A = this chain, B = another copy of it.
Amino acid sequence: MKDKISKQDAIFYSHKMAQLSKALWKAIEKDWQEWIKPFKLNINEHHILWIAYHLRGATISEISRYGVMHVSTAFNFSKKLEERGLLQFSKRENDKRNTYIELTSKGTDLLEDTLNEYDPNNNSVLRGVLPMTEMYGKLPEFQDLSALIKEIYGDEYMEILERSLENIEDDDNISDKTTRIEAYKEQSKSS
């Protein structure tokens, strides 16, 4: 067991992780922007609607933590969404201290519209994992990445992630159009 790393190795490793991580996030951010542009939402606004939708209501603090955005960012964009009639602030019977954000029916409809418009063919990550999906026979799980995020952000972050993912699985409002992975392959070859 190697229990020492040199400062040089540490710089090497963290530089590599910084480059890979920035590249991945910028690709995802670009796809996300393209996807929701027709709905006149920015990524923060869509992320807030998404979290409140999947958690069936959330506090600003939950939005901030889970959306990895500053509390003031979460609050300010939530206010803008409230002004557009897409969500409302409310107190809960069993928790008078916290203010919850819940989607209005207009907000729910808009979020579901974005999900229905989602096109896997325009997704760099889904196209990028194709060769691995063929090699492994399934979508790669990025277990090391999950383990790292769990270490950095704690169990609660991963629990909220799991909860919101379970809600996607249960969601009958997303039209379940099956997409052939072969189709992306053709597209990624030609691009």
A177 at the binding interface (Cβ < 8 Å): yes
Q: A180 touching B4 by the CB < 8 A rule?
A: yes
Chain B residues with CB below 8 A from A27, complex form: 152-153
Q: A3 touching B180 by the CB < 8 A rule?
A: yes
A129 and B149 in contact, given A6-B176, A161-B19, A179-B5 (Cβ under 8 angstroms): no
A17 and B142 in contact, given A11-B115, A148-B132 (Cβ under 8 angstroms): yes
Q: How far is the CB of A121 from chain B (nearest CB, A)?
A: 9
Give A122-135 as 1s and 0s: 1 = Cβ < 8 Å from B's Cβ atoms. Answer: 01111111111110
Chain B residues with CB below 8 A from A14, complex form: 28, 31, 120, 123, 125-126
A22 at the binding interface (Cβ < 8 Å): yes
Q: B171 touching A8 by the CB < 8 A rule?
A: yes
Q: A168 touching B1 by the CB < 8 A rule?
A: no
Q: Measured between alpha carbons, how far is A161 from B127 in the docked complex, in Å?
A: 22
Q: A18 touching B28 by the CB < 8 A rule?
A: yes
Q: How far is the CB of A39 from chain B (nearest CB, A)?
A: 15
Q: What residues of chain A have their CB less than 8 Å away from a CB belonging to chain B?
A: 1-28, 31-32, 50, 66, 68, 115, 118, 120, 123-134, 137-140, 142, 144-149, 151-153, 157, 161, 164-165, 168-169, 171, 174-182, 188
Q: Measured between alpha carbons, how far is A140 from B171 in the docked complex, in Å?
A: 35
Specify which of B12, B20, B123 is in contact with A145 (CB 8 Å cutoff): B20
Residue of A8, A19, A31, A127 contacting most chain B CB atoms (<10 Å): A19
Q: How far is the CB of A140 from chain B (nearest CB, A)?
A: 5
Q: Measured between alpha carbons, how far is A12 from B162 in the docked complex, in Å?
A: 10
Q: B137 touching A1 by the CB < 8 A rule?
A: yes
Q: B120 touching A132 by the CB < 8 A rule?
A: no
Chain B residues with CB below 8 A from A137, complex form: 1-2
Q: Measured between alpha carbons, how far is A25 from B27 in the docked complex, in Å?
A: 12
